[in-house]
Structure 1
Amino acid sequence: MLEDLGPSFVKIGQTLSTRSEILPKAFCDELEKLQMACEPLPFDEMLAALDAQFGSRREEIFVTIDPTPLGSASLAQVHRAVLETGDIVAVKIQRPGVKETMALDIDIMRMFARQASRFMKDEQMLDLRDVVEELWATFLEETDFRREAENLSEFASLNKDVAFIDCPKVYPELCSEYVLVMEYIDGIPIYSADKLIEQDYDLKEIGSKMLDNYATQILDHGFFHADPHPGNVLIRAGKIVYIDLGNMGKLSARDRAGFGDIIEAVGKLDASELKDALMRFAISKDNAVIDHTRFLADLDLLLADYGSCDVAEIDIGAFLNDILALTRQCKVTLPSSITSVSRGIVTIEGTVGPFIPNLNIVAIINDHIRHSKSERDELIAAFQDLARSLRSSASGSLDAAAYSGDALKMLTRGQLKMNMEVLGSEAPLTRISKIVNRLTIALIIAGLFIGSSMLSLSTMEPRLLGVPVLAFFGYLGAAILSLWVVFDIARRK
């Protein structure tokens, strides 16, 4: 059904296939098929798409093209080919009309998101409209193969010194928006665990190396594979090869440091440090609105829940969702990059989870942070923190002494005034306001009934239904207001 609905829904199905905490296993097993292959398009259509890009040069560039696709995904189809140089390549060809189909899908999703957002509570973890717009931005990136060619080059450059990580070599002179030509990777899909075991691969080693390198991608490079599902990872010649680099996440230096601080605080189960890290990581926060006491208490409860579990039992997806929900409730807005990082972490855990059941990416990232910091660096950082704290304390003490002197002078002259604010007082005042409004309307209704009754005894003309017109409209107004008050009381319970 998702295949028939189109590429947008196929991508959603691929994401859901790794979320076993959302869907039953039978559904996840069925959705996993979307990661492997979709219904292929006829070879003639693919050749026509290549001719649209290369024209008559197509037969000169590609000596042969295998009509049987290597893979058929929701956005593109990949065929094995041989270049005039003799190089064996994989040619990724975008499905004709896929962008138009996706644009229609996204428009429908936007409409549903607008309607659904009216019924979602303020503390809802995600704004559906933001999710749809992020989905559209991701699709635009994935359907521009020139960007994927740049991603392949950058990923290869960043990981050139890593012996066990690789990606296909790209041929940029043959790439365009709709066609990508890259090295053919003859490897074993990571989801084929039986084949890997037959080839004497250690599944635990593959899983732990993948997670450690993923921590490097996030924290050191700030350039990471945002969709590392099983269909995008192959094993070849002892190397983990990432393919389909159309969807890559990027983190600024500030975001990398902030995310590392958050994970480090989680590893220490330190609620105070986690709160400070989240506040530093946030892109907007209103300190006047944030209930810091409640925020810290909720983080204490959250860490206590997860702290009672073994590391291997922590559901990182649920944990990140809880963190996002808490920050949203407390009016702390985290950068949009947290969404792609969270999705990537959840996806890679679903990919390698069966290989390393006793490890967790939180522990891997914390080990990475510890190993990346030398004792000298930590000592320097500690002295810098101490110096900043001493300077801040000295400055604060001087300010406090000055303010105390001013306050005492004002107190002796009877000029000292005090403003007080009771935190959490807005909600009860709003309720009292509604009660007063209802009482006011009730008094108006009573006045209308009494006034109309007095007028109905008079001989005033003209008359309607036996009573003066003015009295009639008074009764009508009183009746309408009465019904509204009763309806409002029932609606608000």
Structure 2
Amino acid sequence: MPDNTLLKYIFKSGSEMDPEHKFDLSRKARTKRLREIYSLVRKHRFFSGITPEEFRAMLEDLGPSFVKIGQTLSTRSEILPKVYCEELEKLQAECDPLSYEQMRQALEDEFGAERMNELFDAIDPEPLGSASLAQVHKARLVSGEVVAVKIQRPGVRVKMAQDIAIMRTLARRATRMVKGDQMLNLNDVVEELWSTFLEETDFLIEADNLEEFARLNKDVRFITCPKVYRELCSESVLVMEYIEGISIANVSELEKQGYELQEIGEKLLDNYATQILDHGFFHADPHPGNILVRDGQIVYIDLGIMGRLSPRDRKGFGDIIHAVGVQSSSELKDALLSFAVQRDNSAIDHARFLADLDIMLSDYGSTEVADLDIGLFLSDVFALTRSSKVTLPASITSVSRGIVTMEGTISPFIQSGNIIAIINNHLKNAQDPLATARDALEDAALDMRRAAKGLSGAAAYSGEALRMLTRGQLKVNMEVLGSEAPMTHLSKIINRLSLAIIVASLFIGSSLMVFVGTSVTIIGVPALSFFGYLGAFVLSAFVVVDIIRRG
């Protein structure tokens, strides 16, 4: 597609994404960015077939927004082939760092050169880490404390905002053109990307996350996070305690230092279950680059993306995990329906829903962690609920992504056992036996009350029905579920038979008309007979073609 045509197609509506104009999202700016994107896509020959290596390189060249998308796709083996996922995993590694002069200039733009000298005694020119969004440098404050300074890359917020603005326009147009129950809601995906962008590029939110995470885990001896220097933080600069530890990805060094890998994996997973099910405040991107081990503690060092679950969502998700853990398709069905924010009860085929859940649980329930593809499992759950007209809450997306990422993180540590079973054990251990017994008694009492009320109602209705039956007033309105398809086929058969009868009638009638004398003839045949034969021929041809085409 030529450049001008593509630009005209995307910017026809010309809507602004940010009403406050915090970012440069004008038509001119977005057009310039789109031209840059299109030239890079053509450079990597995306439209003529692209290798996994070229795909990764293209996302890196396109910028941080596309790197984030690539990082997400690397865990989605149900969307991309495995070879592409393995190549995209390299996007989790560090990006090429910016020069120290560029980062120092960014700090001076934030604090001012004079105040910088009052705050920092020294800043290490070599970065501790360099990601697509920010770069981290080790520094020493004038007070002598060693800190890590996270500095946002200059111009990255504007570029990411422009990219998401373009994605929003494309998603809106694609959603209008492509309809269907299996169609992913692209608008929701882009809106989630926008929300994540606003959270991840505002380091004051990350400072809040660090403080809340520390408060919620203050009684957990083996989980911690860096201390925040709140007075030195801003939207684009985060100053926190410097953590010197072993990356959780460095398995050999952990073993060398005497750590038990199985214990690390189990503690990490159990605490992650606590974050999701108890706190409702969890790390949404727990990949190995965000986790260190120091002095017997697991340290989360990057809390830029956090997920939240309401009490209702926590209970619903816990019910789903419990149902999977006990291999109960009926409990899983009830949990999914109660967890849903929207469902069409009249369109749900409960028997088929249960059968599909039985198959899914038998496929995934007993799989070991090394072989379990949670991304594919969750994708199957989403596909099944969509086909059954059941809409799950948006919060399930961040939970699913977090669990998929955590599964990849702990796979070198837990060699056997089922990840769902481990989370389910956390649910059981977290329950108070007395509270569980009390809840069970309350549920039983409620069930008995509903049953008694239902029996009395049934007796009343049956008496009324018998009275109407004896008076000849009872009428039955019955609907046979699943009868639409057979009736449609039967209707087609009847239509063909009707056409065949009409064809036969036309042939017979036209043949009889031949013997009736008439002055108007066509090729020696009376006109009425000719048109009768012609109509019979056309209808015959239609029936034959329809039979051949439809089988």
Contact in 2 for aligned 1:215/1:364 (Cα 8 Å): no
Matches within 5 A, 1:359-374: 359-374=417-432
Q: 2:281 is matched with which residue: 215, 218, 223?
A: 223
**1:7 has 2:64 as partner:** yes
Q: Distance between the aligned counterparts of 2:200 and 2:490, measured in 1?
A: 53
1:274-300 Cα distance to aligned partner (Å, 9 max, x none): 111111111111211211121112112
Q: Distance in 1 between matches of 2:354 and 2:85?
A: 36
**Rounded Cα–Cα distance in structure 2 between residues aligned with 1:147 and 1:113:** 28
Does the C-alpha gap of structure 1 residues 486 and 196 become closer, same or farther in structure 2, counting only changes over 3 Å?
farther
Q: Is the 8 A contact 2:321 2:423 kept in 1?
A: yes
Identity within the alignment, %: 66
Aligned twin of 1:192: 250
* Corresponding position of 2:360: 302
Correspondence for 1:139 = 197
Paired residues for 1:34-183 under 5 Å: 34-56=91-113, 57-114=115-172, 117=175, 118-119=177-178, 121-123=180-182, 126-183=184-241
Asked whether the equivalents of residues 206 and 303 of structure 2 are also in contact (C-alpha less than 8 Å), the reply is yes
Q: 2:269 aligns with which of 205, 211, 228?
A: 211
Distance 1:104 1:432, change over 3 A: farther
Report the secondary structure of 1:241's partner residue. strand
Aligned equivalent of 2:481, options 399, 402, 423 = 423
Distance in structure 1 (CA, Å) of the matches to 2:401 and 2:85: 16
The answer for the alignment partner of 1:245 in structure 2 is 303
- 1:383 aligns with one of 431, 437, 441: 441
Residue in 1 that maps onto 2:343? 285
The Cα offsets for residues 237-261 of structure 1, whole Å up to 9 and x where unpaired, read as: 1111111101001111111111111
- Matched-pair contact (CA < 8 Å) for 2:292–2:300: yes
Q: Is the 8 A contact 2:97 2:127 kept in 1?
A: yes
Are 1:317 and 2:375 an aligned pair? yes
Could you list the per-position Cα deviations for residues 70-96 of structure 1 after superposition, in whole angstroms to 9, with x for gaps in the alignment? Answer: 111111111111112211111111111
Distance in 1 (alpha carbons) for counterparts of 2:346 and 2:415:
44
| Residue aligning to 2:396 | 338
Answer whether contact 2:370 2:415 (CA < 8 A) is retained.
Answer: yes
Report how far residue 361 of structure 1 moved: 2.2
RMSD of aligned alpha carbons: 3.4
**Contact 1:18–1:351 (CA under 8 A) maintained in structure 2:** no
The one-letter code matched in structure 2 to 1:122 is D
Q: Is the 8 A contact 1:166 1:241 kept in 2?
A: yes
Contact preservation (8 Å) 2:77, 2:375:
no
State the 1:6 CA deviation: 0.5
1:409 pairs with 467, 481, 490, which one? 467
Q: Is 47-56 or 219-228 further displaced after alignment?
A: 47-56
Cα separation, 1, equivalents of 2:146 and 2:234 = 19
Q: Deviations over 1:463-488 (max 9, x none)?
A: xxxxxxxxxxxxxxxx9xxxxx9999
TM-score (norm 1): 0.84
Contact 1:15–1:347 (8 Å) recurs in 2: no
Shift of 1:436: 10
SS class of match (1:335): coil
CA distance in 2, matches of 1:427, 1:133: 38
Secondary structure of residue in 1 paired with 2:121: strand
AA aligned to 2:383 is A
Offset at residue 397 of structure 1 (A): 0.9
Q: Number of paired residues?
A: 460
Letter in 2 for 1:50: L
**Post-superposition shift, 1:25?**
6.8
Q: Distance in 1 between matches of 2:548 and 2:170?
A: 29
Deviations 1:405-441 (A, max 9, x none): 2222222222222222222344566678899999999
Give the conservation status (yes or no) of the 8 Å contact 1:227–1:248: yes
* Residues 146, 428 of structure 1: alpha-carbon distance in 2 compared, 3 angstrom cutoff: farther
Deviations 1:340-366 (A, max 9, x none): 111101101101101212133211111
TM-aligned CA deviation for residue 489 of structure 1: 11
User: Does the C-alpha gap of structure 1 residues 433 and 142 become closer, same or farther in structure 2, counting only changes over 3 Å?
Assistant: farther
Q: Return the offset for 1:153.
A: 0.3
**SS of residue in 1 equivalent to 2:125:** coil
Note closer, same or farther for the CA distance 1:307–1:178 as it changes in structure 2 (3 Å cut). closer
Q: 1:231 to 1:271 in 2, by over 3 A?
A: same
Residue 408 of structure 2: aligned partner: 350
Give how far 1:16 is off: 3.7
The CA distance in 2 between the partners of 1:379 and 1:11, in whole Å, is 46
- 8 Å CA contact 2:316–2:339 kept in 1: the answer is yes
Instruction: For residue 311 of structure 1, report the CA deviation from its aligned partner.
Output: 6.2
Output the amino acid matched with 1:363.
A
Q: Secondary structure at the match of 1:66?
A: strand
